[in-house]
Structures are given as C-alpha cells and as structure tokens.
A and B are shown apart, each in its own frame.
Chain A
Amino acid sequence: DTEVTQTPKHLVMGMTNKKSLKCEQHMGHRAMYWYKQKAKKPPELMFVYSYEKLSINESVPSRFSPECPNSSLLNLHLHALQPEDSALYLCASSHLWGQRSDTEAFFGQGTRLTVV
C-alpha cells in the first residue's frame, strides 16, 4: 500500500467555522508533512512531524493547528480562516532521513479548501 489518503477532497467553510483536514498512511513512514498550494504555484511547506513530534513549523499562522495523534494519522485543524487561505492542502509522508535510502515523499490527492 503506497497511498496517502486525505479527507475530505473538497471543503467549503465560513470564516467563523472550525474544521479539520485528515491524512492517513500505512507505509510505516515516521515523517509526515503538510503543504499549501495556491493556484499555479508550487507547494509550500507548512509543517513537518518526525516521530509524531512537530519538528518544523514554517511560521504558519496559529489559525492552522496541526496534530499527529499516532504514526499513521495527521490532522490539520482550521479555525477563523481568511479567504486568502483558500488553497489545495497536500499531505505527504516519507521515511525519516537516514532511516532508508528511499527518501521520496508520497503525496495525497489533497483537500481543496474554499473559505467564504
């Protein structure tokens, strides 16, 4: 199984709503990532988890709150978002650096988020 599964595929939320994006993988990867991708732009790194601990936070606003409850799951909690936060949110996973020679990341299909 080389899949990273993201739910939901599409999400429309108001600026006062609270919602969560979910990501799941069963490849035994201990590094998990959230990226944000605006239209016609490359994915931008938001957060990295290593061994279920937050290891990189790219100065993301606190209205985005990541959580890694176990080695297979990654969540992104959303609260009080702005319309400019509308984007494709991609989850990825990989083996940790130095663990294996296969260092590539596997990406989910993304959640297309629209904030109204």
Chain B
Amino acid sequence: AQSVTQLDSHVSVSEGTPVLLRCNYSSSYSPSLFWYVQHPNKGLQLLLKYTSAATLVKGINGFEAEFKKSETSFHLTKPSAHMSDAAEYFCVVRPVGNDMRFGAGTRLTVKP
C-alpha cells in the first residue's frame, strides 16, 4: 500500500527560526509527492511538488523540500518562520494512478 507518515503531529518554532516538518513515504514505485498547507477554515493550497525531476524542490513562500529515495523521505523546510506560516501542513503521496493519499498532518505554531 502507498502511504505517507508525518512524524510530528505538532511543531512549534519561534518567529525567525528554521522550520522542519518531516514526512516519510512508502511506495512500490517512484511516486509524486506534495506538500499542501491549510489555514484555519480554508481550503488546501499547494506549497510544492516532487515529480521525479530535481530532488530539491522549491515552493512558494520560501518553503523547499528534498526528496531522498534512500531514506524514503520528503521533509519540508523553511529558513525563517513567519507568523503567517502558522497552519496545518499535509504531506501527500500520489503513487502510479489517480489515488492521492494524505498524511495525518503537522500543525505548525509560530511564537512571536
């Protein structure tokens, strides 16, 4: 079965410090991987995607992620957190086919 595991349900950082949100995937094939963000009472916005091109992927709002096949990981990072980054973040896997599965989510809190 194809799945993703987000290793932290909640991450808290101070404004201006780095952000690391961890995601591991399980897939028989080389999947497409995505990070989405959901602000309270809002829909889902795509931050970035990996589709077997460059392993280091840059997204919107200063976020980036690195695909590491040997570690089956796709961790999301940002050098400096802003208050507006506080939200729920989902790692999503799309293996071969039309089937997109979400991780459990990581709630990011940013302290002033």
Contact = CB atoms under 8 A, between A and B. Distances in A.
Interface string B74-112: 000000000000000010101011111111110000000
Interface string A21-41: 000000000010100000001
Interface in A56-107: 56, 90, 92, 94, 96-97, 101-107
Contact of A42 (B34, B49, B51, B103): B103
Contacts of B101: 45
Interface stretch (B11-19, B40-48, B60-68): B40-48
B27 interface: no
Contacts, number: 58
Interface residues of B, number: 24
Contacts of A102: 49, 51
A79 B90 CA distance: 30
Nearest to B6: A42
B32 interface: yes
Given A33-B100, A90-B44, A103-B51, A42 B94 contact: no
Interface of A: 31, 33, 41-45, 48, 50, 55-56, 90, 92, 94, 96-97, 101-110
Interface of B: 32, 34, 36, 42-46, 49, 51, 53, 90, 92, 94, 96-105
